[in-house]
Amino acid sequence: MTLRMLAALAVATAACWAQPVMAQTATAPSATLRPSPGDCLWNTLPEADRTEVLTAYGRDMNSATKALAAHDKAIQAAAAACVGRAGAPRLFIQFATTSAMIRAASAQRLAPAGLTSDGLRTLWNDADPAARACFRVNAARVYGPMAEKLLNGETCPDQKAAQTVLTSARLDLAKDTAQAAQALIHFNAIAQGEQADALLAAFVRYGPAPAGS
């Protein structure tokens, strides 16, 4: 599976809501212990609902996103608490939650290879910057017209660079095709989640004031 193929993971195209600060996409986990908006939103669902979505992921990505969408009302209800203010664009919330779901599901599929969510995050943090850039460029495609602002000039001159993280994970794309694909999906979701978090952080700081305020 190439990075171009991973573009099929898009579940929607983001609306044209933008501020210049959105170019400041996160490049590393926050030092705070507060969970990311996506993790908070995903974990706000009852365990039974999360299990239902993860089971659907075992069938295919489309089934998983549909199962997650069935809980959108509950996710949107938790948005203000997880994001830090009310009124965040619905699609930003959906992207953040979907990223967290994909990370949880792909990590579950990678457990037999001895890879955990924390281990995968460490591999991401330690990856060649060129590899992370390629994942970000690919992940940004789902944000449509906001992709350019999110990337802020970042490019992917060599898509093969992204595969270096597979070597670090001790996965062989030719021999461990299924697990290698899940790893690529996981890293793509990390990039997409960082971008969603950046958009939500920008909304909290620069978004329009709530109606009636």
Give per-residue pLDDT as tens, 28-38: 444 445 789 99
- Give me the pLDDT at residue 139, please: 93
| pTM for the model | 0.83
Which residue matches tokens 């830090």? 84
- H helices within 44-116, ranges in order? 47-57, 61-69, 72-83, 90-110
- State the helix-helix crossing angle for 117-126 and 90-110, rounded to 10 degrees: 110
CA distance 211 to 213: 6
C-alpha–C-alpha distance, residues 93 and 95, integer Å:
6
Chain-centroid distance of CA 90 in Å reads 15
Strands (E), the chain: none
Q: What is the pLDDT of residue 33?
A: 56
- Give pLDDT, residue 118: 96
- What is the pLDDT, as a whole number, of residue 131? 94
pLDDT of residue 211: 57
Task: HSE, CB side, 13 Å, CA atoms: give it for residue 78.
Answer: 19
* Contact criterion met (CB below 8 Å) for 88 and 79: yes
Low-confidence ranges of the chain (pLDDT < 50): 1-32, 213
What pLDDT, on a 0 to 100 scale, did the predictor assign at position 100?
Answer: 97
Residue of 196, 123, 130 whose CA lies nearest to 158: 130
- Alpha-carbon distance of 139 to 9, in angstroms, equals 9
b vs e for 108-126, b when ≥16 Cβ sit within 10 Å of the residue's Cβ? Answer: ebbeebebebeebbebbee
Cα distances from 113 to residues 66, 73, 109, 122, 169, in angstroms, run: 28, 35, 9, 16, 9
CA 163 from chain center: how many Å?
A: 18
